[in-house]
Amino acid sequence: MSIYTISIVPKQLVYHGDRFAKSKEIVQWLIDENVIDSAVRADSAWGEYQYRSGILKYCQPSPWCHPNRGGYGMSVITEKTVFDRLGFDKATCSHCGFSMNEYVFYKIVGSWWENAGEVPCPGCAKGLSIMDVIVEPAWGFSDLGFTFWEAPDFTQEFYAKFEKRLESKLWIVYCRL
């Protein structure tokens, strides 16, 4: 049996505001919308907030869209994190379109993680940060994110509301563990 996650991540390596205050603001909004419960589950391994019935208004029509998805919920991440999908199909340089192999891509990820600066693109020799790499399917890199465990497919309206509240474009990262 596998677990499916959707992570909503601002496209900011370091969130531009107080990420702790912003995470509390987002949690309160989701509580007010009845999307999540007001308390973290006591039996939670990842600090999840249990889904509530309000989640239904933000779901794509599906039999998977119900608030009691096996006891899973949403967790808040407020530390530097790679939001990944345990692999990628394609990573390309945004400057020249060079298609990276795993070694080059993970070297750039490692450089970001270690705050070591840019890595030259083998295709155009320009220095690349992780923001210069187009990863398909999407990965996210930030110190703020929201992971929905065993989540339904959300509506574009839900993502648009997140984008507005985070004041940032988003990475939407799908993963099956």
Question: Among 24-38, 46-60, 94-108, which is the least confidently predicted range?
Answer: 46-60
Are residues 63 and 147 located together in one domain of the fold? Answer: yes
47-to-126, 165, 175 alpha-carbon distances in Å = 41, 22, 18
Q: What is the pLDDT of residues 42-71, one digit of tens each?
A: 665 566 898 888 888 898 876 666 556 556
Its pTM surpasses 0.85 = yes
Are residues 114 and 169 located together in one domain of the fold? Answer: no
Domain that holds residue 158: 4-82+139-176
DSSP 8-class letter at 52: -
Q: What is the pLDDT of residues 108-129, one digit of tens each?
A: 999 999 998 889 999 999 999 9
Number of domains composing the chain: 2
Are residues 144 and 77 located together in one domain of the fold? Answer: yes
Instruction: Give dist(CA 13, CA 112) in Å, integer.
Output: 9
First-to-last alpha carbon distance for the chain, in angstroms, is 9
Distance between alpha carbon 12 and the CA centroid of its chain, in Å? 11
